[in-house]
């Protein structure tokens, strides 16, 4: 039992370390400059053709952006946008959008 508790603590500490390396303010700056035209500055899209990002889980957003970046997920606009993102940009954007209030 103690081994399971120790393992869970290590996983949690590792997760917190990853989460704390994101810069939400940097994510906000990039989002309002690059993503806002389609997804809105607060992650609420301007059109039904674009998904809302506000309140999405950070891990999902990171996975989606990485998939657009490596081409395994196809959407020409997003593939082009993601190409220019660094790993830190992706982490920052995910932290920013995941912390926003989702659309009603």
Largest Cα–Cα separation, the chain:
51
Q: pLDDT tens, 33-88? A: 889 999 999 999 989 999 999 999 999 999 999 999 999 999 999 999 999 999 99
Q: Mean pLDDT, the chain, as a whole number?
A: 87
Domain spans in the chain, listed from the N-terminal domain onward: 23-98
- Does the domain made of 23-98 have the CATH classification 1.10.10.10? no
- Take residue 11 and report the two structure tokens written for it: 């996983």
Q: pLDDT tens, 90-99? A: 999 999 999 9
| CB proximity list for 33: less than 8 A, separation 6 or greater | none
The SS3 call for residue 45 is coil
pTM of structure: 0.79
């Amino acid at each position: 039992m103690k081994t399971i508790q120790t393992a869970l603590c290590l996983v949690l500490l590792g997760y917190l370390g990853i989460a704390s390396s994101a810069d939400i303010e940097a994510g906000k700056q990039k989002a309002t400059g690059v993503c806002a035209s389609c997804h809105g500055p607060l992650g609420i899209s301007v059109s039904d053709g674009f998904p809302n990002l506000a309140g999405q889980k950070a891990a999902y957003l990171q996975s989606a952006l990485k998939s657009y970046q490596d081409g395994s997920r196809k959407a020409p606009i997003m593939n082009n946008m993601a190409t220019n993102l660094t790993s830190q940009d992706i982490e920052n954007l995910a932290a920013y959008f995941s912390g926003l209030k989702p659309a009603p």
